[in-house]
């Protein structure tokens, strides 16, 4: 049984296969219309969603399957104190594959430990969002025709932006990909993402607070929302929320073949006057989500398992994860585990 918790659970060859399959599904949808007849997707959304939840639902229905689940924690027995483990154990018995979104970082790892069906991480707190990255990769393939030799600007909330973390993990594996990381200092990329994906892969990057000066060099500009729901201080959010607003006048110096992407939802960070620019690809990007998720469901339901090594960490007596958003701080009955560098195995944050 295979899970998708982190985008790196997929090799680059598997990603190419998913992109090819999604493209074929787009061209020949009828061929796949009965591929999941009799299968059920468990759709467990403990946090709000429009695109991810509905595109998973659409994906399973388009494959001839059915969907059950909930779209807010408040309508599940979580309100009575049920753990993630117990919830997922139950839904495993009612479905063939589970897509789950949870506000706690590492929740899908806890789920994958007890599930008897494949678990797909549909977003865990400010940590990872691998199926958004698959959507992003399909978009990059369609619009740029390659994954290598790209300058990618990522702008906005790089601290809490889970789509950013997964996109960097994925794109840092390709040749000559350079990142321009554009954010206020307070919302810069976490060390664990830099260490695990940029330093380890020898990937070139620069950090800047200035969007306008970065734009001319970019092949892709990936805008992101400032994640209000992750801030511990309302005052800090109010101060930072409109740090970047992309509008038509800021695109005057941009490349003619720039791709403007955004995982959506947007708030103010892309003015609506950009929507009519042919370089604005964010609505196509959301549309591609249905087809890449169809491809992913087919792959996970048809693939044999590999060993899941994520929980190979060791307990460190007296230590617990300091990340207030980590699942290990709230889930009952799980061990607090850390890797050899002192990082929590659930949320990847350093303890010291
Ligand atoms: N991109 C994305 O995850 O959107 P939703 O929150 O609407 O699912």
Question: What is the pLDDT, as a whole number, of residue 213?
Answer: 97
- Cα 68 to averaged position of ligand 1 atoms, centre (Å): 19
Question: What is the pLDDT, as a whole number, of residue 217?
Answer: 97
Pairing of strands 66-70, 177-182: unpaired
**Are the C-beta atoms of residues 195 and 168 closer than 8 Å to each other?**
no
- Cα 105 to averaged position of ligand 1 atoms, centre (Å): 16
Query: If you take atom 1 of ligand 1, which residue's CA is the nearest one?
Result: 263
Task: Give the pocket of ligand 1 (CB within 6 Å).
Answer: 49-52, 123, 132, 263-265
Q: Which one, of 204, 198, 195, lies nearest residue 150 by Cα?
A: 204
126-185 pLDDT per residue, tens: 999 999 999 999 999 999 999 999 999 999 999 999 999 999 999 999 999 999 999 999
**Are the C-beta atoms of residues 124 and 150 closer than 8 Å to each other?**
no
- Residue 349's pLDDT band (cuts 50, 70, 90): very high
- Cα 113 to averaged position of ligand 1 atoms, centre (Å): 25
277-302 pLDDT per residue, tens: 999 999 999 999 999 999 999 999 98
Ligand 1: which atom is nearest the Cα of residue 289?
A: 1
- Name the token pair of 266: 């947007």
200-219 pLDDT per residue, tens: 878 999 999 999 999 999 99
Is 0.75 surpassed by the pTM of this model?
Answer: yes
């Amino acid at each position: 049984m295979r899970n998708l918790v982190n985008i790196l659970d997929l090799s680059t060859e598997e990603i190419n296969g998913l992109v090819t399959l999604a493209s074929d599904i787009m061209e020949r949808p009828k061929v796949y219309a009965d591929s999941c007849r009799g299968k059920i997707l468990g759709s467990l959304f403990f946090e709000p969603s429009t695109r991810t939840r509905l595109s998973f639902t659409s994906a399973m229905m388009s494959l001839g399957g059915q969907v059950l689940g909930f779209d807010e924690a408040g309508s599940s027995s979580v309100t009575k104190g049920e753990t993630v483990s117990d919830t997922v154990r139950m839904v495993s018995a009612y479905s063939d594959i589970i897509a789950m979104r949870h506000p706690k970082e590492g929740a899908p790892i806890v789920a994958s430990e007890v599930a008897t069906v494949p678990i797909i991480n549909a977003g865990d707190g400010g940590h990872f969002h691998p199926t958004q990255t698959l959507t992003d990769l399909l978009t990059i393939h369609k619009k740029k025709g390659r994954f290598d030799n790209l300058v990618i600007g990522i702008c906005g909330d790089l601290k809490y932006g889970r789509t950013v973390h997964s996109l960097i993990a994925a794109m840092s594996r390709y040749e000559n990909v350079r990142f321009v990381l554009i954010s206020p200092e307070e919302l810069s990329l976490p060390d664990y993402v830099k260490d695990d994906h940029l330093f380890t892969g020898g990937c070139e990057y620069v950090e800047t607070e200035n969007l306008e000066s970065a734009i001319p060099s970019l092949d892709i500009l990936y805008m992101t929302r400032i994640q209000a729901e992750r801030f511990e201080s309302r005052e800090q959010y109010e101060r930072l929320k409109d740090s970047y607003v992309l509008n038509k006048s800021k695109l005057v110096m941009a490349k003619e073949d720039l791709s403007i992407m955004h995982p959506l939802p947007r708030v103010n960070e892309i003015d609506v006057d950009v929507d009519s620019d042919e370089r604005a690809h964010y609505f196509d990007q959301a549309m591609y989500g249905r087809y890449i998720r169809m491809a992913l469901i087919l792959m996970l339901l048809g693939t044999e398992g590999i060993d899941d090594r994520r929980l190979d960490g060791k307990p460190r007596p007296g230590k617990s994860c300091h990340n207030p958003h980590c699942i290990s701080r709230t889930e009952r009955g799980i061990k607090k585990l850390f890797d050899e560098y002192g990082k929590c195995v659930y949320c990847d944050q350093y303890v010291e």
